[in-house]
Amino acid sequence: MGRTRFDIILTTDRSMMSNHHGKEFVGFMTTGPAIGMPEKLWMWIAAPKMKVDSLGRPWQAPYALRKLEALLQDKGYNAAVIDPDYVAHHLLDAKILMLSHHDYFALCPPSSEWWLITRKEPVNAKSFRRFMNSLPLAKAKERGLKIIAGGPAAWQWLYRLDLMSRWGIDTVVDGEGERIIIDLVEKVYSGEPLPRYVFVGPSDVPSIEEIPAIRRPSINGLIEIMRGCPRGCKFCSVTLRPLRHMPLELIEKEMLVNVREGVRSGILHSEDVLLYGAKGIKLNPDALIKLHQLARKHWESIAWSHASLAAVKNAEEEHRLISRLREIICSKGQDYWGVEVGIETGSVRLAKKIMPAKSAPYPVEKWPEVVEDAFTIMHENNVIPAATLILGLPEETPEDVVKTAELLDRLKPYRSLIVPMFFVPMGVLKNKDWFTDVRVTDEHVEVMRRCLWHSVRWAEEIIDKFYLREAHLSPLKYLLKMFLSYVKMKVRAYEKKMGLRPIEAEAAPIAH
Amino acid sequence: MLTGRFYEVYFLGRLDEVGVEKLKECVFEATKRGEERVRIRFYVRDGADISYLDELKKVLLENVLLSIVVESRELEKLTEDLESDEGEITLIINEDSPLPDLTRFQKKLRIIRKG
C-alpha cells in the first residue's frame, strides 16, 4: 500500500461502506440480524466490499462523507474517505478521525424493529462495534488523535456513553455539518479543546452556496436534489430544516463525478422528490421535467429515494406528471423505478394528530383514499414503492391499528413492499434490553402479519421480473429467494403454533 | 458557527433533575429572547467525566429550534473564563461547595442557585 498519509480520515463500518452489489435496497438487510444463514454470508449479500485504490480509498462512499471530504479538501485540508479495512493503516498518522452512520447502535427503525421481533442484534450495530474494536485507538489517542462522530444517528451516542468513553469520542455532531466541521478542525489544529456535543439548529444549516459538490462517487450514485420538507409531520426531524433546492448545475456536476468513475446509474435524493422546485407543496412540473431529462442524459437508470403519496396523487391528477416522468425515466431500456413512501397510518383520527399536512393538498380526512389512489398510480406506471407505517405511537389506540390493517387489505393488489416501523420512546432506550419494554398488541401483530405476507408475495415477483435480472446477480437472486422461502416457512409455523388464522389469499394483481 | 453569538450558560455541580429543569428554563429563555444558539459549559473536577450527558439528553433531545454547543472545562478555569467571556452569562450553581469570589462579575452574571 502507498505510504501517503492523511491528516483527516472520514469513514464508517462495512455495513455502510458498501454499494450492496449496486442494489441500494439490498442494503436494508444490514438493518436486520442474520436469519437462516451464517452472518458472513448475510453480510456478503447485504454489504459486500467494494474495490479500493492503493491508499485504501473506496470506489464509492456514503454521500454525507463525500460532502465533508469535498468541503475539507476545498478548504485545503489533507482529508480522505478511507475504507474501514484500511483505516488502521492510516490512523497513527492522522490528526482527526470522522465517523458517520445511519444507525450506530441499531436503535432506529427498522433495525430496532427487527431486534424487537427476533431478539437478535442487527448486523449494522455489530459491524460498527467490531470495526471500532479493531482499531488501535488507544495508541492513536496517545498520539493526539481526535474523534468526531456525526451522521443522522449522532443522537444515539447519548445512549451509549460507555462506548463514547471507551472509544474516546471527543465530539458528537448532530445535524448538517458543513458549517461546524471547519470550526472543529481549526480547534484541533490550534490545540484548543473541542466541545463534547453540538446540535446544529435551523439557523446554522448551510446555505446552498456553502454546500460543496462531491469530488468522488457516492454509494450507487445517490445525490441530493433538495434538503428539508414543508409538511411538518410530528414524527419527523427533517421537516424542521429550511427548504433548499439544489441548482441543476450542482446536481449535474455531481452526476458527472459519479459517471466519470463508472457509477452510471443514480438515485435522486430528497424527502419528497416531487417537491423539487416546488413552492411549499405546489408542484413545479417544469423543474421536475428538467431534472429528469438531466438524469436521463447522464444515467443508465434512475431511482428516487422518497416521495410523498399525496404528491404522487396530486402530480398525476393535476399535471399527468407521473406518466410524463415515466416517459423520460423509461426511455432508455429502464422499465421501472423504486421509491420509499410513507403510509404511516390508515387511521384518519391518528393522521390528524401526527401528520395533518401529510395529505395536503387533499384534506386529511381523505388520507386512506390518498394512499390507495397513489398506490394505483404507482402500480400503473411501474413505480415500485417500499412503504413504511408507524406502530406504537403514544397517541395510538387499538382502533387506529385496526384502521391500518383495513387499509393494508385494500392495498393487496398493488405491487409494493410494506414495512411496519415500531415507535420506540426515547426513555425506553436507556436500557440495554430495551426491546423487552416495548408492548406489542394483538392488533399490532395483525398489521405486522399483513405487511409480511404482502411484502413476501410481491418481493418474489419484484425479484423475478424487475430487480435482479442481470446474469451476474443470479447467485444473489437465488440466495434472496431462499431467504424468502425460509421466512415463509418460519412464519407459517409460528402462526400455526399461535393458532392464528392465515391471512386470506392475495388479491389478483391488477392488469397493466 | 462557533464564532457566532451564543446565549451562555455555565453549570456547576452534579446534573440532576433539578439541574435539568433549570437548563430547560434557560433554553426556553434563550428562545423567547430570539437567540439562535446556546452554549452550555459544565465545570467538572475530572475532565474525562461525561456522565452529565446522560441527564443532559433530556434537554438536548427536546430542543429543535436552537443550536446547542456543550462543553466541559476544569473547575479551576471558571474565573479565568468569566474574565475572558464578554456578554451576559447565566451561572447555574447546583451544589453547596464553596466557590471563588464572584462579586467582580456581578454585572454580567445571572446566578441561579440550587433550591
Query: Contact A201/B48, CB-based, under 8 Å?
Result: no
What is chain B's length?
115
Query: Contact B37/A237, CB-based, under 8 Å?
Result: no
Tell me the C-alpha distance between A405 and A345, whole Å.
9
pLDDT in tens, A42-96: 999 999 999 999 999 999 999 999 999 999 999 999 999 999 999 999 999 999 9
Query: Contact A198/B60, CB-based, under 8 Å?
Result: no
Residue B76 Cα, gap to closest chain A Cα (Å): 15
Residue ranges of chain A whose CB lies within 8 Å of a chain B CB: 155, 158-159, 161, 164-165, 174-175, 179-180, 183-184, 187, 193, 195-204, 237, 240, 426
A155 → closest Cβ in B54, B61, B66: B61
Cβ neighbors of A127 (< 8 A, separation 6 or more) are: A13, A14, A15, A30, A43, A47
Q: Which helix (DSSP H) or strand (DSSP E) does residue A163 occupy?
A: helix A161-166
B104 grid coordinates: 467582580
**Domain parsing of chain B, residue ranges:** 29-113
Residue B34 Cα, gap to closest chain A Cα (Å): 11
B61 → closest Cβ in A175, A198, A426: A426
Contacts of B63 in chain A (CB under 8 A): 199, 201
Query: Contact A197/B70, CB-based, under 8 Å?
Result: yes
Residue A267 Cα, gap to closest chain B Cα (Å): 29
Cβ neighbors of A238 (< 8 A, separation 6 or more) are: A227, A228, A229, A271
Query: Contact B37/A204, CB-based, under 8 Å?
Result: yes
Query: Contact B50/A196, CB-based, under 8 Å?
Result: yes
Contacts of A196 in chain B (CB under 8 A): 50, 53, 70-72
Query: Contact B36/A201, CB-based, under 8 Å?
Result: yes
Tell me the C-alpha distance between A276 and A245, whole Å.
6
Tell me the C-alpha distance between A180 and A203, whole Å.
12
Tell me the C-alpha distance between B52 and B70, whole Å.
10
Residue ranges of chain B whose CB lies within 8 Å of a chain A CB: 1-4, 36-37, 48, 50-51, 53-54, 56-57, 60-61, 63-73
Q: Which helix (DSSP H) or strand (DSSP E) does residue B74 occupy?
A: strand B67-74
Contacts of A141 in chain B (CB under 8 A): none
Contacts of A240 in chain B (CB under 8 A): 64-65
Residue in A173, A187, A198, A424 to test binding to B, most B beta-carbons within 10 Å = A198
More confident residue, A442 or A260: A260
Lowest mean pLDDT: which of A20-29, A148-157, A466-475? Answer: A466-475
Helix orientation angle between A248-260 and A285-298, rounded to the nearest 10 degrees: 20
* pLDDT beyond 60 at A151: yes
Contacts of A105 in chain B (CB under 8 A): none
Question: How many contacts does A have with B, using Cβ atoms within 8 A?
Answer: 81
A195 → closest Cβ in B4, B60, B71: B71
Q: What residues pair up with A96 in beta bridges, in sequence order? A: A8, A146
pLDDT in tens, A327-385: 999 988 899 999 999 999 999 999 999 888 899 999 999 999 999 999 999 999 999 99
Could you tell me which of A283, A215, A186, A185 has the C-alpha nearest to residue A61? A215
Domains defined for chain A, CATH in brackets: 8-204 (3.40.50), 217-467 (3.80.30.20)
Query: Contact B68/A203, CB-based, under 8 Å?
Result: no
Query: Contact B70/A196, CB-based, under 8 Å?
Result: yes
More confident residue, A116 or A54: A54
β-strand pairing of B109-113 with B89-94 = parallel
pLDDT score of A512: 42
pLDDT score of A468: 81
pLDDT score of B21: 95
The whole-model pTM stands at: 0.93
Contacts of B44 in chain A (CB under 8 A): none
Contacts of B43 in chain A (CB under 8 A): none
Contacts of B6 in chain A (CB under 8 A): none
A199 → closest Cβ in B2, B3, B63: B63
Exposure string (b/e) for A455-482, b if CB count within 10 Å is 16 or more?
bbbbbeebbeeebbeeeebeebbebbee
Mean pLDDT, rounded, of chain A: 92
Contacts of A202 in chain B (CB under 8 A): 64-65
Give the ipTM of the model, two decimals please.
0.96
> Residue range A206-232: average pLDDT?
93
Q: Report yes or no: A9 and A148 within 8 Å, Cβ to Cβ.
A: no
pLDDT score of A17: 98
Contacts of A155 in chain B (CB under 8 A): 57, 60-61
Cβ neighbors of B47 (< 8 A, separation 6 or more) are: B72, B73, B74
For residue A414, report the phi and psi dihedrals to the nearest 5 degrees: -105, 125
> Residue range A233-253: average pLDDT?
85
The per-residue DSSP string of A325-363 comes to HHHHHTTSS---EEEEEEEE-S-HHHHHHH-TTTTTTS-
* pLDDT beyond 70 at A430: no
